[in-house]
């Protein structure tokens, strides 16, 4: 009965790792998935995470009972504080419901399904380009997906005019997906002044902001700084959605730990919204896992661990920034044609190189360098040792 089933294509991002794993070459390099690597090219478990896990293991009172449908309460509270700020009036006024979800993806999906069931507008506008999974997540949640202009390939920067025009012509009430910081895949973010214009325009048209915050702490190295755009929207008193992930900033990729927050107009509305979120979650996966959020809560609630985390986070962000400089310098040293300054200007884990599909394929074939076909490279996967290899490959790709 399954003989008719055709082979599905690999995922455009996670499939890169599948191909990389199959390559026997000793010089292979995986710059596909956005996952942090050390200078030695190894995955990193943060010291604070090890410490938190030790604390959890030593606590014999801990059990393996089910969490509530909405997840670990303490984690939800701390997550809201982290993203909206400890002094946020919306938190004080109990206007936010926060539910633990399966990392950023799960938070987007739960938020999307809630909107498809209860919101009067079923259209979500996402930036062009965006993280490839956004499209599928929201379509399967029951929303219809449209694009707004975001990236200008000519300037390798923000198409701010195009973005404002497209938001202006979106129907009133439409949902707008915004990358809170470190836009994936382009590494191009609006300035705070531009965010303010975006906010004004969106509020004047009653457009609903849905922030995807996957890189808090990775863009500027500051947790508060990277949450600024979201806080601007929340401080005007309007509604706002935020999907939070701890995959990158706490290195908890495989623990699938994140949160969805919905900022409402009153605490009464927030509590009704939460009751409906439970109806979305319960038939989807019943309730979320307990280990990941326990690690996060342990770190966030302890001043010393929290401070240590911010230092480790800053060190990761700084290493990525130094990789940008090293790659830029290496291309300049090779006299590689073109303006590569976007490598140092772009923000976050990725560089959107501007290399085309053929050039990417060439680099994979000849240099065993793996990246997504849109020319995105994960700077976090690079090290001082591998920069020359990548620079040689880019140089060969653009001069062949």
Least distance between ligand LMR and beta carbon 349 (Å): 8
Query: Per the omega criterion (within 30 degrees of 0), is the bond before 129 cis?
Result: yes
CB of 34 to ligand LMR, least distance (A): 3
Interaction site with ligand LMR (CB under 6 A) = 13, 33-34, 131, 133, 184
Smallest distance from ligand LMR to CB 165, Å: 27
* Contact partners, residue 277, CB within 8 Å, separation at least 6: 70, 97, 99, 110, 114, 260, 262
Nearer to ligand LMR, 95 or 248 (CB): 248
Q: Considering 212, 226, 374, 392, which one is annotated as catalytic?
A: 212
Output phi, psi for 178, to 5 deg. Answer: -125, 135
Min separation Cβ 248 and ligand LMR, Å: 8
Rounded to the nearest 5 percent, the helix, strand and coil shares of the chain are 50, 15, 35
237: left (phi over 0), alpha (psi -120 to 50) or beta: left
In the set 51, 131, 189, 309, the catalytic residue is: 131
SS3 52: helix
- Left, alpha or beta for 318 (phi > 0: left; psi -120 to 50: alpha)? alpha
Least distance in angstroms from the C-beta of 90 to ligand LMR = 27
Catalytic-residue membership of 392: no
Residue from 306, 120, 328 nearest 207 by CA: 120
- Nearest-angstrom CA–CA distance, 102 and 368: 33
Nearer to ligand LMR, 218 or 241 (CB): 218
Q: CA 225, CA 223: separation in Å to the nearest integer?
A: 6
Contact 194, 158 (CB under 8 A): yes
Question: Residue 14's CB: how many other CB atoms inside 10 A?
Answer: 11
The count of other CB atoms within 10 Å of the CB of residue 339 is 8
Question: Closest approach of Cβ 145 to ligand LMR, in Å?
Answer: 17
| CB closer to ligand LMR, 179 vs 199 | 179
Identify the bridge partners of residue 259 per DSSP, sorted by sequence position.
100, 244
Which residue, 199 or 248, is less far from ligand LMR as judged by CB? 248
Q: Which residue is nearest to ligand LMR (CB)?
A: 34
C-beta closer to ligand LMR: residue 184 or 359: 184
Annotation marks residue 131 as catalytic: yes
By beta-carbon proximity to ligand LMR, the closer residue of 184 and 386 is 184
* Cβ nearer to ligand LMR, comparing 13 with 281: 13
Contacts of 252 (CB under 8 A, 6+ apart): 49, 246, 292, 295, 296
Q: Which residues contact 111 (CB under 8 A, 6 or more apart)?
A: 141, 210, 241, 243, 260, 262
CB atoms within 10 A of CB 348: 29
Among the listed residues 248, 309, 340, 374, the single catalytic one is 248
Active site residue 152: no
**Smallest gap, in angstroms, from Cβ of residue 348 to ligand LMR?**
10
- Known catalytic residues are 131, 212, 248
């Amino acid at each position: 009965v399954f003989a008719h089933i055709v082979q599905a294509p690999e995922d455009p991002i996670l499939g890169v790792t599948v191909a990389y794993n199959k390559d026997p070459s000793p010089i292979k390099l995986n710059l596909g998935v956005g996952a942090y690597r050390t200078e030695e090219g190894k995955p990193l478990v943060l010291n604070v995470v090890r410490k938190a896990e030790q604390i959890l293991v030593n606590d014999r009172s801990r059990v393996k009972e089910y969490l509530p449908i909405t997840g670990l309460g303490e984690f939800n509270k701390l997550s809201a504080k982290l993203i909206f700020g400890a002094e946020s009036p919306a938190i004080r006024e109990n206007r936010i419901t926060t539910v633990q979800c399966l990392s950023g993806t799960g938070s987007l999906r739960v938020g999307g399904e809630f909107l498809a069931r209860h919101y009067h507008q079923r259209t979500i506008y996402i930036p062009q380009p965006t993280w490839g999974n956004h499209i599928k997540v929201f379509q399967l949640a029951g929303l219809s997906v449209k694009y707004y202009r975001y990236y200008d390939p000519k300037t390798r920067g923000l198409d701010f005019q195009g973005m404002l025009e497209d938001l202006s012509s979106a129907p009133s009430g439409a949902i707008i997906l915004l990358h809170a910081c470190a836009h994936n895949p382009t590494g191009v973010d609006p300035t705070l002044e531009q965010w303010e214009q975006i906010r004004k325009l969106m509020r004047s048209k009653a457009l609903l902001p849905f922030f995807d915050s996957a890189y808090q702490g990775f863009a500027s190295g500051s947790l508060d700084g990277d949450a600024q755009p979201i806080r601007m929207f929340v401080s005007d008193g309007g509604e706002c959605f935020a999907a939070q992930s701890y995959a990158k900033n706490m290195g908890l990729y495989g623990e699938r730990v994140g949160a969805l927050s919905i900022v409402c107009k009153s605490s009464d509305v927030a509590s009704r919204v939460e009751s409906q979120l439970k109806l979305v979650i319960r038939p989807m996966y019943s309730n979320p896992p307990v280990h990941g959020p326990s690690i996060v809560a342990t770190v966030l609630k302890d001043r010393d661990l929290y401070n240590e985390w911010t230092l480790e986070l800053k060190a990761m962000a700084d290493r990525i920034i130094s990789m940008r400089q090293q790659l830029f310098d290496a291309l300049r040293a090779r006299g590689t044609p073109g303006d590569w300054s976007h490598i140092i200007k772009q923000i976050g884990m990725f560089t959107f190189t501007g290399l085309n599909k053929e050039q990417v394929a060439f680099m994979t074939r000849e240099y065993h360098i793996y990246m997504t076909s849109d020319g995105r490279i994960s700077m976090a996967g690079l090290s001082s040792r591998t920069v020359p290899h990548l620079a040689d490959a880019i140089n060969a790709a653009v001069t062949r």
